[in-house]
Structure 1
Amino acid sequence: MPLSFAQVGETRKVLSLQGDDMLKQHLLDLGFVAGQTVQIIGNSNQGLILSIKGVRLALNRGLAHRINVA
């Protein structure tokens, strides 16, 4: 399931990334590696507020849709 479908308050585990090599590397640099847990803190029409590795960040829906989680 894409991360963009997750609900506020859920904690999900990153499974894989979709996209070209540059996009995948950008997401890896942000901490989205396989097995890492991500908590959804906030949700709006424009994107998600996430907590990953103890850091809060905003991610637009386009990028969140390329992160597969369980």
Structure 2
Amino acid sequence: MFPLTFGEAGDNLMIQQVGGSEEVKKHLGDLGFVPGASLRVISSHNGDMIIDLKGTKLAITREMASKVRTDKLNSKF
């Protein structure tokens, strides 16, 4: 398990945990960052990322991405 910030463009990942304060967890959860959800990293620049989550492209800061723990998926979704 590793922080989302370690993901690279093209990586297919599965969310394992979401950390941070209750407010941060709720905000990320409202965006779809929940355990078991799959995402694809579109681009990453200094930890700030653009990802595809449930068919929606989202921009996420390095600070928020560091709260999301992921594992790599073997296949594309």
Task: Provide structure 2 residue ranges, at least 5 long, that are not aligned to the other structure.
Answer: 72-77
| Equivalence map 1:3-42=2 (5 Å) | 3-42=4-43
Between the two proteins, the alignment pairs up a number of residues equal to 70
Shift in Å at residue 5 of structure 1?
0.4
Counterpart amino acid of 1:30?
L
Shift in Å at residue 46 of structure 1?
5.7
Q: Normalized against structure 2, the TM-score is what?
A: 0.88
**Structure 1 residue runs of 4 or more that deviate by more than 6 Å after TM superposition:** none
Counterpart amino acid of 1:27?
L
Instruction: Compute the RMSD of aligned alpha carbons.
Output: 0.8
